[in-house]
Amino acid sequence: MNNFAVNRSKLKNILEDNQMAVVFSGNPVQKLGDEYFPFTPNRNFYYLTGLDRPKMIYFVYKFNGDIEEYIAIERYDEIKAKWVGAVMLPDEVRQISDIQQVIYLDEFEENISSIIFNKRIQKLYLDLENRDFYANTPAIDFANEIKNKYNYVTIENLFNIMADFRMVKEAWEVENIVKAIDITKDGIYNMMRNSRAGMMEYQIESYFDFALKQHGVKDFAFKTIAASGKNATVLHYSDNNSKTEDGDLILFDVGAQYEYYNGDISRTFPVNGKFTDRQKTIYNIILEGQQIVIDKAKAGIEFKSLNCILKDYYAKALSKIGLISNAEEVNKYYYHGVSHLLGLETHDVGRHNEGLLKSGMVMTVEPGLYIAEEGIGIRIEDNILIEDNGCRVLSKDIIKTVEDIEDFMK
């Protein structure tokens, strides 16, 4: 059984007799005229199948205790193949997904009608999410069609069920995330080697891009944040078009993608290779705060408690250096959460905010401080794997102490 078949077994285990699930890979999105945005598959579809082509449909049903599953794909079109490339052929689909029953899209409607009628389908699971940018997805169009034709079939949202599956990672998923992190490390080091005061933010960023392309990375985890000086106090600054000045810190929030699994790393370093005393003080407060959170992270700990632990530490540390006079003022300089899940999406799905950490979760630990009046914005972000008795820092090999950074940039 391949990795994606194991993932599908989780879905099959929730199906009862006379129930069915349908998941779409998604359609290309038009950009301009005959130009389309690069296609990226619905991550739930990819999680179940390992397939990443548009206009594919996975469906599975249970009847009399037996489970049947199918993939619907486009037919080969010789003319289209000359212009945009060939579609995936049935044998390739079977090899990647380990799904043996492959039909064509023009047979899908007839197959679905037959299954609903002959297998007496009462409930249909569809991958739906309440976000505006999903307004015209194939899943929603299909849901409306089912409501019109088979009003006795109950439709249930599969999204949160899939999120629960994806929240705890299999070992091979962790390996893919580690590979993405290792590639990210090379990109960060390439920027550090080539950083000089007076360069534009995007020029330094280009060294990250080059390193990832050398690894064959086609897609980044997200748009790079390359924020120098005061720009780094804007959490999602991504213009990356300012000139760096001697004495600036530059904050990079970056990530490579490997087999659709993401790394998400933040490092902050001095453009000229040397921290000022003030920068060093603030940086070390953040670094110590990160270690405190990492030391506390383990299965059974409430997710929300990690941010509380960090803010309690900040209240003491920032008071000690005279930056704040009371604990409430922490919010002036730290205004985001310390962690989010990581996986097939950079901010991965899962109802982790509602409960306790579980062994197998992969998440970020990303404390920061943003002191606009001093032009200092620092974030240090690593990726961890939650275990029963603690956590493993997956990005531990990416340097982050003041001493190591200055030594590297000499």
pLDDT at residue number 244: 98
Residue-wise DSSP of 170-184 = PHHHHHHHHHHHHHH
3-state secondary structure of 2: coil
- Spatial separation of the C-alpha atoms in residues 218 and 213, rounded to whole Å: 7
Q: What percent of the chain has pLDDT over 90?
A: 88
Amino acid at 248: D
Q: How many C-beta atoms lie closer than 10 Å to residue 372's C-beta?
A: 13
pLDDT in tens, 261-290: 999 999 999 999 999 999 999 999 999 999
Mean pLDDT along residues 239-254: 97
Amino acid at 105: L
Q: In the listed set 147, 166, 185, which residue is the last one of a domain according to the structure? A: 166
pLDDT at residue number 192: 98
Burial of 198 (0-12, 13-18, 19+ CB in 10 A): exposed
pLDDT at residue number 136: 72
Q: How far is CA 339 from the centre of its chain?
A: 13
- Counting Cα atoms < 13 Å in the Cβ hemisphere of 15 gives 27
Only one residue has tokens 């019109």, namely 148
Task: Check whether residue 244 and residue 357 sit in a common domain.
Answer: yes
- Spatial separation of the C-alpha atoms in residues 258 and 175, rounded to whole Å: 10
* Residue 31 · residue 37 · CB < 8 Å: yes
Task: Check whether residue 320 and residue 271 sit in a common domain.
Answer: yes
- The token duo for 36 is 């389309």
For residue 134, pLDDT over 60 is answered with: no
Task: Check whether residue 96 and residue 70 sit in a common domain.
Answer: yes
pLDDT at residue number 131: 56
For residue 132, pLDDT over 70 is answered with: no
Task: Check whether residue 83 and residue 60 sit in a common domain.
Answer: yes
Secondary structure letter of residue 134 according to DSSP: G
Q: How many C-beta atoms lie closer than 10 Å to residue 225's C-beta?
A: 22
Amino acid at 312: D
pLDDT in tens, 15-49: 999 999 999 999 888 888 778 888 899 999 999 99
pLDDT at residue number 242: 97
Task: Check whether residue 325 and residue 282 sit in a common domain.
Answer: yes
Please give the tally of structural domains in the chain: 2
**Long-range pairs, 404-409, Cβ under 8 A, ≥24:** 405/192, 405/269, 405/270, 405/275, 406/270, 406/273, 406/274, 406/275, 408/189, 408/192, 408/193, 409/192, 409/193, 409/195, 409/269, 409/270, 409/273, 409/274
Q: Give 137's pLDDT tier (boundaries 50, 70, 90).
A: confident
Task: Check whether residue 151 and residue 177 sit in a common domain.
Answer: no
Q: Which residues pair with 369 in a beta bridge?
A: 378
Task: Check whether residue 98 and residue 172 sit in a common domain.
Answer: no
Q: In the listed set 151, 166, 181, which residue is the last one of a domain according to the structure? A: 166
Q: In the listed set 144, 166, 188, which residue is the last one of a domain according to the structure? A: 166
Burial of 131 (0-12, 13-18, 19+ CB in 10 A): exposed
Q: What percent of the chain has pLDDT over 70?
A: 98
- Spatial separation of the C-alpha atoms in residues 158 and 74, rounded to whole Å: 24
Give the residue from 240, 287, 298 showing the smallest Cα distance to 382.
287
For residue 128, pLDDT over 70 is answered with: yes
Distance spanning both ends of the chain, measured CA to CA:
51
For residue 351, pLDDT over 80 is answered with: no
For residue 135, pLDDT over 70 is answered with: no
pLDDT at residue number 1: 78
Task: Check whether residue 153 and residue 182 sit in a common domain.
Answer: no
Mean pLDDT along residues 146-165: 93
Task: Check whether residue 116 and residue 38 sit in a common domain.
Answer: yes
Cα 407–254–263 angle (5° rounding)? Answer: 105
Task: Check whether residue 260 and residue 364 sit in a common domain.
Answer: yes
pLDDT in tens, 187-240: 999 999 999 999 999 999 999 999 999 999 988 999 999 999 999 999 999 999
CATH code of residue 351: 3.90.230.10
Give the residue from 241, 265, 234, 245 showing the smallest Cα distance to 195.
245
Which structural domain, as residue segments, surrounds residue 372? 168-408
Task: Check whether residue 107 and residue 182 sit in a common domain.
Answer: no
Task: Check whether residue 161 and residue 173 sit in a common domain.
Answer: no
pLDDT at residue number 85: 79
pTM over 0.85: yes
Q: Give 352's pLDDT tier (boundaries 50, 70, 90).
A: low
- Spatial separation of the C-alpha atoms in residues 318 and 369, rounded to whole Å: 10
Phi, psi of 209 (to 5 degrees): -60, -45
3-state secondary structure of 60: strand
How much is the mean pLDDT over the chain? Answer: 95
* Residue 36 · residue 86 · CB < 8 Å: no
pLDDT in tens, 306-319: 999 999 999 999 99
CATH code of residue 124: 3.40.350.10
- Spatial separation of the C-alpha atoms in residues 170 and 394, rounded to whole Å: 15
pLDDT at residue number 353: 66
pLDDT at residue number 14: 97
